[in-house]
Amino acid sequence: MSAAEGKAEGKVFLLLFAGQSNALGWGYKQYLLETNNPLAEPQEDVELYYSIAGEGYLPENQLIPLQPGTSHKLPKPGGHYPDLPEPVCRFGPELSMARTVKDRLADPDAKVAVVKFAHGGTSLYDRDDWRPDGTADSRGDGKLYQIFQATVRGAVKALEAKYPGREVVIMGMGWVQGPSDALEGKADEYEENLTRLVEDVRATYGEQVVFALSQVSPNQYAYSQNRSWVEQWEKVAAAQEAVAKALPDVAMISTAGDKYPVSATTSEGLFHFSTPGLLQIGQDLGNAIAEMSGQPLVDEALIEEDYTLRVTVPAEARQVRPGQSAPMASDGHVVLRVGGAEGDLFTKGSRVFTNRDFVLNGPLPQLEGLPFIRANIDRISFSVVAGGKLYALTPLRSSTSISQVSALEEAGFKPVAVEADQPLFGTNRGDRILVYEKVVKPGESYAFGKWTVLVGAMPEGQEVSVQKALLGSEEMLYNGIVLPATWPPTHYVASREVMPVPYLEQVPEVIPIDVGRQLFVDDFLIEQTDLSRTYHHPVKYEGNPVLKPETPFEIDPGNGLATAAPKSGGLWWDSEEQIFKMWYEAGWFGAIALATSRDGLHWERPQVEGAAQNRTPNEVTPAGLKPDSWNMIIDTWSGNPDERYKLFVRRPGGSWEINGLCYVSPDGVNWSEPSVSGPMGDRSSVFYNPFRQKWVFSIRSMYTGRSRHYWESDDFMTGNFWTWDETDFWKGRGWTPGEPVVWTAADKLDPEDPVLNYAPQLYNLDAVPYESLMLGLFQIWLGPHNNETNGVPKITELEFAYSRDGFHWDRPDRTPAIATARTPGAWDRGYLQSVGGVCVVVGDELWFYYGGSAGDESRPKDGLYANASTGLAVMRRDGFASMDASGEPGTLTTRPVVFSGSRLFVNADVAEGALRAEIRDADGNAIAPFTLDNCEPVTADSTLEEVRWSGAEDLSALAGSPVRIHFEVDGGALYAFWVSPDESGRSDGYVAAGGPGFTGPTDTVGRQQLKAAEVFVSAEADYSPGDNR
């Protein structure tokens, strides 16, 4: 592969195309068919290779003729063509761009191909999206940009295979993106980020690669009444123009004017270009790339076909022009001034009213996806800020006590010939609706009673957030899971029902597996298997406890309750100092204290110099603070040395109005002034989700007994404040913006303890990124209540939970991962506590530290908290679940996966058997030479073992192409698999709280970590499945 230089002979010119939703495209094939546009049919002389995460109309990640169908297939018809067959076939500017380049090349035999990867609602600044680092090393690039590069590699390999005598050269790149950076307030960074993208593309694919981009258009934001939002769009447009002027061989296409119409249908979003606009943009990009390429060209004026003029702009698609002060009818959404209301999208599952928990059963197709006003069910009064067509929904006349039919008709609203067959929400047939409409004008005022729902409008001041949702700002995660635009979910209410896990019900068609070891804790990765799954638990270390109360302050902090244990606290491997660090509670409600260890088993209390409080020599508590529960985190993700240590504290007290405090420190001793968070119950905690770069506050609430609310923030210190209504907090309902959302609790599958007989509660939730998922420890309370303990510790036990989207938890094993001893005299008789950081990786083991209490029955009132120590439990690395073959051999076939690495590794125990693997294509056919017959059997008990095939050096030929991995296991167990970029076996996944040999938060060293950990004493646990006692 090389840059586009020299003659066309013996070359395949490859065009790159990428961006966000307008790159995906809202062009309809139906338009092309109606106007006899030849682009409606496959272009046999131009190759197409594309990927949009397995959701396209056409087959992905393979060469096909250029044709429509490279955008998301709509689940049902929409837009200007409500009667289109399902699924709707759409396309983006790549169609006319590639066709134009092919037509402009003077050599009629020149081979042209285009590779496309795009995703809606994505930005250049976000590390989850397109953010480039400006170099050819992809490891520092944003996740979507890495997927784009993997797609390009797949296209190059496919072209080289199809045209073995030709060289694949990169001619140029088309880029259609920018609205998300404007919507998210990052316009000031856009010039720098776009410049870095161009530099990165050229560093990766050659300095002579030309670059053409489309400018964000005033047609896209002309209807907006939000001046600050418009200013952000204009800044992005100026940045795009500046980059085109500053860098060589960069062309910008201005998209102002009538040739670039945007859609007029609200279901498509008023800033998505319509079919004519997309065709024009593609043709302009194609001409720009051709003109800059240096190849012999046909004069543009001599091209017989103009693929844009065949499609006329429908009258209803004429957009608002700049200077038009009041949008009307279909020109834009209505903006209303209405108190206490929220804006949302009218989609299934959206909550209907602010003071009720009703959610939409399934909106009318004609209204689905429009913005709507969520207001009080009893009354809504409003004035019109920006006019247009407003829809009002109210019950049928038969429900006279709540129907607003008469009031709507008196106000001039006209009925629409639509009646819902089912209730708008719930099951009451009386809640079936009639739909009214009216073109409202600025300055008008209205008021309606119980109940009326307004659709096609958004509240004043919330235009940006609603428009972001309309833009399709769904977030695609590293594993192909796409989060909805409304995130975190706001529609959950208090319940003991089992938490749904959407990504297990709707698995991505192709799963990227570049991040981390792939674990078998659920069926996310599995398409077919006859292996049996066994869940495993850590085994307690025989030398427990590893830390117990010994210093005077730990033994008696003033209340006589001896403690040397974390309540979350924190335990992390410090890769800079090459030691383990544990922050624990010294004395009940006492000090935040530090312990260190070289081997993780023998702990010392270092003398801390310069601490604000010194009640015990190893204290690091900030000045003036008396802590209750707290988390200490070594932040290895953000890279800010001044904020390397992060402390989240909830002060003592039974009131629910106590706020948390957030501190940062460069050394864990000298703390900043605190940032005040929102209110919470005691035993709240915090953790970091690096998959989404979010700080997650795990907030104690009480809606089904002890339970959890959720709050996420980009920044630990500045995004951590929330409010809540105490009544809603207790009930777990009534969410409004600015409040945490209902998250998780114990549910009906959590068994009552047969002796204690209390309904289980979720006492605490700590979590940490481990390999390719979030690993959670649910602290489940089984009883008794505090005033019933008589000095015996209450029973809380720790259970594993797993999340692949960071919010929804799958809990397939409801038995304790670490259980209480329950016997008098045992150091961990009860009240087990998880540790912030959850676990560390030591060689081929995971070490889980936990707190436990022996209690003191001589103190019936508060002795349940006495004599708390810290212990350790150990399990195999990745050992949460194994897929086992006992007796007869068994097989497991993954769903389609895609990777950029080159070597397959497994964690397996097949010392008494064998494991082989086969790589299969999308149709299930074995890909030679990666067949079972060619596979060299794995016959070891190893947490890191490469799978090899005779006749093949590695898997690099399959990188970027969807494949299935088929395993055959005979007499053993498979725990995990992954595809590493090199022979070290590195997984590039997250390593929880770290461990000896790792240099950062992810596994970038592979086998080197195992060698580094050999100097540490193994806890030598016996991994008997299910034995956690």
pLDDT > 90? residue 15: yes
- Averaged pLDDT for residues 414-419: 70
Q: Which residue has the higher pLDDT, 494 or 537?
A: 537
> SS3 for 866-883, per residue?
CCEEEEEEEEECCCCEEE
- Averaged pLDDT for residues 997-1006: 94
> SS3 for 285-320, per residue?
HHHHHHHHCCCCECCHHHCCCCCCCCCCCCHHHCCC
In sequence order, the β-bridge partners of residue 568 are 630, 835
In sequence order, the β-bridge partners of residue 872 are 849
345-371 residue pLDDT tens: 787 777 788 777 777 876 666 677 678
Instruction: Please check whether residue 891 is in contact with residue 526, taking contact to mean a CB–CB distance below 8 angstroms.
Output: no
DSSP letter, residue 330: G
pLDDT > 60? residue 269: no
832-863 residue pLDDT tens: 999 999 999 999 999 999 999 999 999 999 99
Q: How far is 515 from 614, CA to CA, in rounded Å? A: 43
- Helix intervals (H) in 737-781: none
HSE-up of residue 804 (Cα within 13 Å, Cβ side): 32
DSSP letters spanning 378-436: S-EEEEEEE-EEEEEEEE-TTSTTT--HHHHHHTT-EEEEEE-SS-SBSS-GGG-EEEE
In sequence order, the β-bridge partners of residue 710 are 698, 741
Q: How far is 958 from 154, CA to CA, in rounded Å? A: 8
Q: Which residue has the higher pLDDT, 274 or 314?
A: 274
Write phi, then psi, for 543 (nearest 5 degrees). -90, 10
- Domain(s) of CATH 2.60.120: residues in the chain: 511-535+880-1013
- Averaged pLDDT for residues 306-325: 35
Cβ neighbours around 83 below 10 Å, total: 6
Collect all residues with Cβ–Cβ distance below 8 Å to 76 and sequence separation of at least 6: 86, 87, 88, 365
pLDDT > 90? residue 896: yes
- Averaged pLDDT for residues 123-130: 85
CA angle in degrees (0–180, nearest 5) for 836-838-839: 130
Instruction: Please check whether residue 568 is in contact with residue 834, taking contact to mean a CB–CB distance below 8 angstroms.
Output: yes
- Averaged pLDDT for residues 634-645: 91
pLDDT > 90? residue 651: no
HSE-up of residue 575 (Cα within 13 Å, Cβ side): 23
* 474 Cα distance to chain centroid: 9
Which of 15, 18, 22, 26 is closest to 100 using CA atoms?
15
**Global confidence as pTM:** 0.68
pLDDT > 90? residue 21: no
CA angle in degrees (0–180, nearest 5) for 413-414-415: 125
**Crossing angle for the helix pair 190-205 and 227-246, to the nearest 10 degrees:** 40
H or E, element range at 970: strand 964-970
Instruction: Provide the greatest CA pair distance for the chain.
Output: 99
Q: Which residue has the higher pLDDT, 737 or 587?
A: 587
The shares of helix, strand and coil residues in the chain, as percent rounded to the nearest 5, are: 15, 35, 50
Lowest-confidence segment of 729-743, 760-774, 870-884, 899-913 by average pLDDT: 729-743
Tokens of 521: 């804790």
pLDDT > 70? residue 1: no
- Domain(s) of CATH 3.40.50.1110: residues in the chain: 2-317
Lowest-confidence segment of 3-12, 53-62, 374-383 by average pLDDT: 3-12
Class for the domain spanning 2-317: alpha beta
For a pLDDT cut of 70, what percent of the chain falls above it? 87
DSSP letters spanning 499-530: PP-HHHHS--SSEE--SS-EE-SSSTTEEEE-
CA angle in degrees (0–180, nearest 5) for 836-672-622: 65
Report the Cα–Cα distance between both ends of the chain, in Å, rounded: 58
Length of the chain: 1029
- pLDDT score of 452: 92
Q: Which residue has the higher pLDDT, 736 or 662?
A: 662
Q: How far is 923 from 900, CA to CA, in rounded Å? A: 20
- 371-374 and 482-483: which strand pairing? unpaired
For a pLDDT cut of 90, what percent of the chain falls above it? 59
**Crossing angle for the helix pair 94-104 and 275-292, to the nearest 10 degrees:** 40
* 531 Cα distance to chain centroid: 30
Q: How far is 586 from 589, CA to CA, in rounded Å? A: 8
DSSP letter, residue 127: T
pLDDT > 50? residue 684: yes
Tokens of 315: 């009258």
- Domain(s) of CATH 2.115.10.20: residues in the chain: 539-876
Q: Which residue has the tokens 């739909």?
A: 435
Q: How far is 458 from 37, CA to CA, in rounded Å? A: 38
783-835 residue pLDDT tens: 999 999 999 999 999 999 999 999 999 999 999 999 999 999 999 999 999 99
Q: Which residue has the higher pLDDT, 728 or 515?
A: 515
H or E, element range at 29: helix 29-34
Which of 965, 910, 688 is closest to 806 using CA atoms?
688
Which of 258, 209, 220 is closest to 17 using CA atoms?
209
Instruction: Please check whether residue 684 is in contact with residue 763, taking contact to mean a CB–CB distance below 8 angstroms.
Output: no
Collect all residues with Cβ–Cβ distance below 8 Å to 964 and sequence separation of at least 6: 527, 893, 894, 895, 896, 897, 919, 920, 921, 922, 924
- pLDDT score of 430: 62
Q: How far is 255 from 204, CA to CA, in rounded Å? A: 29
Q: How far is 709 from 681, CA to CA, in rounded Å? A: 10
Which overall architecture, per CATH, does domain 539-876 show? 5 Propeller (2.115)
Over the chain, what is the mean pLDDT?
86
198-245 residue pLDDT tens: 999 999 999 989 999 999 988 776 555 456 667 888 999 999 999 999
Which of 958, 946, 908, 952 is closest to 933 using CA atoms?
952
CA angle in degrees (0–180, nearest 5) for 17-18-19: 145
- Helix intervals (H) in 91-173: 94-104, 143-162
- pLDDT score of 317: 30
Instruction: Fill in the amino acid letter for 277.
Output: G
Tokens of 847: 């070490």
Most confident of 81-90, 249-258, 662-671: 662-671
DSSP letter, residue 262: B
pLDDT > 70? residue 77: no
Radius of gyration of the chain (CA): 30
pLDDT > 70? residue 124: yes
Q: Which residue has the higher pLDDT, 229 or 337?
A: 337
The hierarchical CATH code for the domain 511-535+880-1013 is 2.60.120
Tell me whether residue 1023 is exposed, middle or buried, using C-beta atoms within 10 angstroms of its C-beta: 0 to 12, 13 to 18, 19 or more. middle
Instruction: Please check whether residue 316 is in contact with residue 340, taking contact to mean a CB–CB distance below 8 angstroms.
Output: no
pLDDT > 90? residue 538: yes
Which of 931, 935, 941 is closest to 971 using CA atoms?
941
